[in-house]
Chain A
Amino acid sequence: MSKSKTNGRYSLELLFGSKARVKILKFMFRNYPGDVSIKDLTNRIQEPHQTVKKEVELLHSIGLLKKT
């Protein structure tokens, strides 16, 4: 593993500028091709509903997420 473990752990969150966004992406990629509602996602990654909703809508607007 990398030498600077502590920095490494947060680097993606810092790079993406949002902890929730990284968590959503992690969850979606690890569970691909599973689909999920905002409510389920909120429960699973344990982030505020409003934040999750905002991030999902952003990811949807850039075309990374699609509605099923």
Chain B
Amino acid sequence: MAKDKNHKHILRKRKIASRRVVSRKHVAKIPKVKMPHYVLNSNYEFYDELKGLILKSSPAEIDRMINRITSLGKIRLAIISGLFLNESTGGEIADLFIVGDDISKDRLRTFLKALEAEVGKEIKFSLMDKDEFQYRYGMFDRFVRVLLEGPHEKIINKLGI
């Protein structure tokens, strides 16, 4: 009996404690100040000129991209297209194409997430190992052909293609 009473007591205590947590959360929400957000002012004197200048450049720094891609694994080939080139038509088959072996999936995920955040858009990405690529390259696979015949830049090329 005594044990049972004790148990009830604990239960009640716990209830109070949980209620307290809820109420604290509620209180915390009120003083939350909205961070100021910034947007471009299209009435700025040189807005159009600046826009032309800035958008002419590549969205991500290619040299930094090369370093980050190299650290993913044994990279044989990396091609940028679409989003990363200025002559993009938007209909490209992939924005980033990597051929390599022993690629760390975790690092790749982190890399793509960071890149997408930087660009502000979803990246069309494709990955193949060396054997698959060479097989597809040799048989004039549609994907590989479209990518290599369209506007692209090979930022890493250890395959000599």
Q: How large is the interface on B (under 10, 10 to 19, 20 to 34, 35 or more residues)?
A: 20 to 34
Is residue B30 within 8 Å, beta carbon to beta carbon, of the partner chain? no
Contact of B40 among A32, A38, A39 (CB under 8 A): A32
In the bound assembly, the distance between CA atoms of A39 and B37 in angstroms comes to: 9
Interface positions, chain B 29-52, Cβ under 8 Å from A, are: 35-42, 44-45, 47, 50-51
B39 adjacent to A34 (CB under 8 Å)? yes
Residues on B with C-beta less than 8 A from A9 are 58, 61-63
Which residue on A lies nearest to B119, using beta carbons? A30
Is residue A36 within 8 Å, beta carbon to beta carbon, of the partner chain? yes
Which residue on A lies nearest to B61, using beta carbons? A9
Q: Mark A28-62, 1 if CB is under 8 A from B, else 0.
A: 11111111111101011110000000001001101
Is residue B10 within 8 Å, beta carbon to beta carbon, of the partner chain? no
B35 adjacent to A30 (CB under 8 Å)? no
Contact of A29 among B40, B121, B153 (CB under 8 A): B40
| Secondary structure of the A contact surface, majority rule | helix
B118 adjacent to A27 (CB under 8 Å)? yes
A26 adjacent to B121 (CB under 8 Å)? no
Interface positions, chain B 146-161, Cβ under 8 Å from A, are: 153
Is residue B117 within 8 Å, beta carbon to beta carbon, of the partner chain? yes
B57 adjacent to A66 (CB under 8 Å)? no
Residues on B with C-beta less than 8 A from A36 are 37-39
Is residue A12 within 8 Å, beta carbon to beta carbon, of the partner chain? yes
Which residue on B lies nearest to A32, using beta carbons? B40
Is residue B1 within 8 Å, beta carbon to beta carbon, of the partner chain? no
A1 adjacent to B40 (CB under 8 Å)? no
Known: A26-B54, A37-B35, A37-B37. A45 touches B118 (CB 8 A): yes
B37 adjacent to A44 (CB under 8 Å)? no
Is residue B128 within 8 Å, beta carbon to beta carbon, of the partner chain? no
In the bound assembly, the distance between CA atoms of A45 and B116 in angstroms comes to: 10
Min CB–CB distance B69 → chain A (angstroms)? 16
Min CB–CB distance B13 → chain A (angstroms)? 39
Which residue on B lies nearest to A25, using beta carbons? B54
With A26-B59, A36-B38, A67-B37 given, can you name 16 additional A-B contacts, CB distance below 8 Å? A1-B153, A27-B118, A28-B39, A29-B40, A30-B59, A31-B120, A32-B42, A34-B39, A34-B120, A35-B37, A37-B35, A37-B36, A38-B38, A59-B38, A62-B44, A64-B41
